[in-house]
Structure 1
């Protein structure tokens, strides 16, 4: 078996969702890793810090000796047992540390002594991370990129998700991109978001020529789009979904009231879930208080509070439609028109969803025919 997987294997490893044993310390793993990776460190945070300090003060030999001292006996056996259990569950697992150096080689040797041969990845985390950044930057140059825009509540995400030629940025970020866009699933770290985005763009390149993305600001919640991709998105042509106000109200009601409430109840139970949902919705409104102005914010907050009470006590959603309609007409719609007025990118098509869908399908077919 090959002891070391070369850098040329990066794409296959990442796109193939290869199970990976991340040998770095937990503090390193938390900052960023790869899909399919499980953190089974050679050294924990304390051990890594001690060995690092020893390396700086006394040199490599002393650091290696301290490492074997700290990770020996029962501690070593526990680490090896964890790797063995992972390989038993996922026989095609591979190893990586930060640079594909000593931690990978030591772990590989200990596994071999236990009767299991598994390769480590050349360049380790740092090499694959650099590879993904390069791939993401290359994907930003896709001439087939097109942005789907539309007023708040147009259902842009629902429109995009089923498309084979789309990448769901908000899905990757675990956030809907607005003040009300938080999800119960925590957002990934910035590095994990960038890694997953790069992999999603690589997967897209294998299946479609046209790259369809939703119109986003650079920040999606607290995650940030890579600058090359965001710059390309700002310049890319647009298609615009035209949806009636009534349809937009119902879309927002579904996304931010019905579905979020159901998610809270599923996680926390009826009573606690209802309370958590109320806090969530009111806090979302409070985040835009300064932009709304105190008077308008207080009026909307009072209406929202009444709507929540009506919903939880009677199962009625009428008052929710009222605050949604006001928030659209008084806040989101004027902001959308202002931003569109500054948008220099060309508009390729505008119309109802069925027509925009047909337009994008034809454009993808044309681009693919010349691929």
Structure 2
């Protein structure tokens, strides 16, 4: 290894996320899987097993012995391959940064090898993943506590998510959680790890508030959980006391919107994610719909559960057998009227004092524009 040089060190954590800097994560794969930052690429210095062995040596014999073991474990050919991966990342992302867990030994070694082997001076983050994670947690607390939120409510099927994303300043918790927030809301892709979800929400909120700290932010009215992901508590507490606007749409329109959101788009999603044909996607949709009905069996009650499940089986057979969606419409109508609407009406009754406006989508949009929200496409 050549003599040490002063390689660049980044200490401004806010700039990392506000400037959307590409991130090269050199932690072991097991660490990356437990939590990462949006868009970060894992190109590890050590494999999981190598990291385990080096960690033991470090505890037993100190840093120099641990470094020596690392070089023993990685032969010249494998070292060249790893350096080539980092070099490719640096070439593709000249404005990027690298980091390890604490911004210590592993990131310094990676940075030094890039310089020695490829002549590349690439900055690393001071404090590494741990410091960036701490910064985001602190920023989330600071930014959420007084965030100028406007909550968007409405019964199932009013199209809250597509309405939400029409506005420039919005926080899409369901999109980030990859879940529509109900028993039927699972997406073809699995939900992100809890830490990944929290990191992404923190970054979204940080960017929104840094750009325009006092301008309102539109957020869908959620419970504490979006699927299996917890809304950050400080943000949720702010949501609970923020003004609420409520979209109202006729039942027939809500049936059609629900058909699109929860079945048609769901099948398309399974085809895309699984790269499968119609039969493979249909099997997934069938399992998804029937499984969701079974998950709410207790709330439906035995008789109604049997009725709804029977309707679902017949409706899915008709759709996949004869391309007939009427049975699905009938199923959705029953679920809206008999299950979702009563539950939503009960929840809304506890929020009456926060309702600032209610009406059809066009009227709600006009109200939001009057309150300072800018549409990013025509309403």
Q: Is the 8 A contact 2:8 2:121 kept in 1?
A: no
CA-to-aligned-CA distance 1:281-320 (integer Å, 9 cap, x gap): 1112111112111211111010011111111122111111
Shift of 1:72: 4.4
Show the counterpart of 2:248.
Answer: 242
Q: Which runs of 4+ in 1 moved over 6 A?
A: none
Q: Is the 8 A contact 1:100 1:124 kept in 2?
A: yes
Q: Is the 8 A contact 2:136 2:203 kept in 1?
A: yes
Shift of 1:204: 1.8
Q: Is the 8 A contact 1:265 1:274 kept in 2?
A: no
- Residue 315 (structure 2) aligned to one of 304, 307, 311: 307
Shift of 1:344: 6.5
Show the counterpart of 2:377.
Answer: none
Show the counterpart of 1:369.
Answer: none
Q: Is the 8 A contact 1:20 1:36 kept in 2?
A: yes
CA distance in 1, matches of 2:304, 2:154: 25
Structure 2 SS opposite 1:76: helix
1:73-222 equivalences under 5 Å are 73-114=76-117, 115-205=119-209, 206-207=211-212, 209-222=215-228
Show the counterpart of 1:226.
Answer: 232
Segment drifting more, 302-311 vs 271-280: 271-280
Change (3 A) 1:194 1:352: same
Shift of 1:93: 2.6
CA-to-aligned-CA distance 1:134-156 (integer Å, 9 cap, x gap): 12112212352111111111111
Show the counterpart of 1:297.
Answer: 305
Shift of 1:345: 5.1
Structure 1 SS opposite 2:245: strand
CA distance in 1, matches of 2:48, 2:112: 22
- Residue 333 (structure 2) aligned to one of 313, 317, 325: 325
CA-to-aligned-CA distance 1:219-271 (integer Å, 9 cap, x gap): 11121111100111111111111111111111111111211123334531022
CA distance in 1, matches of 2:124, 2:63: 22
Shift of 1:342: 2.7
Segment drifting more, 52-61 vs 106-115: 52-61
Q: Is the 8 A contact 1:236 1:345 kept in 2?
A: no
Does 2:363 match 1:360? no
CA distance in 1, matches of 2:58, 2:270: 49
Q: Which sections of structure 1, spanning at least 5 residues, go unmatched?
A: 367-371
Shift of 1:11: 2.2
Count residues in correspondence.
Answer: 365
- RMSD (Å) for aligned C-alpha atoms: 1.9
CA distance in 1, matches of 2:170, 2:353: 19
Q: Which sections of structure 2, spanning at least 5 residues, go unmatched?
A: 375-379
- Residue 258 (structure 2) aligned to one of 252, 260, 279: 252
Shift of 1:47: 0.9
CA distance in 2, matches of 1:143, 1:96: 31
Segment drifting more, 89-98 vs 151-160: 89-98
Q: Is the 8 A contact 1:164 1:207 kept in 2?
A: no
Show the counterpart of 1:263.
Answer: 269
TM-score with structure 2 length normalisation? 0.91
1:16-95 equivalences under 5 Å are 16-95=19-98
Q: Is the 8 A contact 1:142 1:211 kept in 2?
A: no
CA-to-aligned-CA distance 1:142-186 (integer Å, 9 cap, x gap): 352111111111111111011112111111111111111111122
CA distance in 2, matches of 1:321, 1:158: 20
CA distance in 2, matches of 1:332, 1:186: 24
Segment drifting more, 180-189 vs 81-90: 81-90
Shift of 1:207: 4.9
